Amino acid sequence: MKITVLGSGGWGTALSILLHDNGHRVTLWSYEAQEAEVMRTTRENPMLKGVLLPEGITFVSDFDSVRESDMVVFATPSFAVRQTAKNAAPFLRPGTAVVSVTKGIEGKTGLRMTEVIRQEINDCCQVVALSGPSHAEEVGRKVPTGVVAACADLKAAELVQDVFMSPVFRVYTNPDIVGVELGGALKNIIALCCGVSDGMGLGDNTKALMMTRGMTEMARLGVALGGRSETFAGLSGMGDLIVTCTSMHSRNRRAGILIGKGESAQQAMKEVGATVEGYYAAESGHMLAERAGVEMPICRSAYEVLYEGRPVQHVLEDLMGRQKRGEADESWL
């Protein structure tokens, strides 16, 4: 298959290698021509240090290859998905398989990434979401990994499953694209909060509390927006939450650690130096929750710290001092 991957950050690059190893003809598109040039000449992406880029991958910064591709993968940060889809749309043949591997919710509209892409390409193609616990650094090193391909049209999801599946990359399918995409986007907020907890020097107990109650919030919003609660127990929910909240590969957690140690949100973003999706998701997730009338105390706290500059200690006291309740008052499973 001919495949174009749009976005040459760590994730787009790791997936290009995986797809190349699976026998596909891969073109990797960079937003900056300079990025393509560096990869072409050094056979390395600075975002994925120590991973050799195979000779067979073509590096470009124009959209020509989209025209003849059987599959197009969107792998840019969420803030760039709409513009990238708009630019790629004139080159896209109707019926091409389209995949989104971006984890986020669009700022002003609150739309999921596959919804943004579908708008920009006038619904000319099926769009599948591929999500799950998958650090680029580990996929680049061929560490065994499992993810989910989601689409209401299961045939489209199964095609993505076949194309990406490898001896080190297991792909499951799920028709619940709402739950899969929201799990991937919202867990970044919780990971940022777990980082704050670590940065403040709090304990494993605190982190477990945050992850478990965070999962309840994610599922609460997901179900209100049409997702299935069971999806949140799967790879794109619980799986991704575990990996992002506990790993040093997670930029969201690293940004949170810096904030927990007293840095401002802006300083922390700058220091991490790569896309911190949890920062954007804290705003869009908060907006979606308000709009749907869903209570998300941890996500609201993240919003208050990141966008209103509230001190983390005050926010923590508010969270711990919330009105008492029964755990079984509400179950997400």
Ligand X SMILES: NC(=O)c1ccc[n+]([C@@H]2O[C@H](COP(=O)([O-])OP(=O)(O)OC[C@H]3O[C@@H](n4cnc5c(N)ncnc54)[C@H](O)[C@@H]3O)[C@@H](O)[C@H]2O)c1
Query: Is 2 an annotated catalytic residue?
Result: no
Kindly state the smallest distance separating residue 167's Cβ from ligand X, in Å.
20
* Selected catalytic residue, list 103, 187, 207, 324: 187
Task: Please name which of 111, 268, 94 lies closest in space to residue 185, comparing C-alpha atoms.
Answer: 111
Residues forming a β-bridge with 169: 145, 166
Rule CB under 6 A: choose which of 35, 176, 181, 217 binds ligand X.
35
Which listed range, 52-60, 150-158, 271-279, 281-289, lies at the site for ligand X (CB under 6 A)? Answer: 271-279
| 181 is a contact residue toward ligand X (CB under 6 A) | no
Rule CB under 6 A: choose which of 101, 189, 255, 259 binds ligand X.
101
CB 6 within 8 A of CB 36: no
| 62 is a contact residue toward ligand X (CB under 6 A) | no
Query: Smaller CB distance to ligand X: residue 157 or 281?
Result: 281
Q: What angle do CA 300, 304, 310 make, to 5 degrees?
A: 145
| 77 is a contact residue toward ligand X (CB under 6 A) | yes
**Total site size for ligand X, rule CB under 6 A:** 27
| 169 is a contact residue toward ligand X (CB under 6 A) | no
* Dihedral sign from CA coordinates of 164, 91, 79, 105: negative
Q: Which positions ≥6 away from 107 have C-beta within 8 Å?
A: 79, 280, 283, 284
CA distance 4 to 76: 13
CB 103 within 8 A of CB 185: yes
Positions 131 through 150 that interact with ligand X (CB under 6 A): 134-136
Question: Which tokens sit at 86?
Answer: 């708009």
Task: Please name which of 105, 329, 62 lies closest in space to residue 221, comparing C-alpha atoms.
Answer: 105
Which listed range, 60-68, 77-85, 205-213, 282-290, lies at the site for ligand X (CB under 6 A)? Answer: 77-85
Query: Where in the sequence numbering do the catalytic residues fall?
Result: 187
* Chain residues that interact with ligand X, rule: CB under 6 A: 7-12, 31-32, 35, 47, 75-78, 80, 83-84, 101-104, 134-136, 274-275, 277
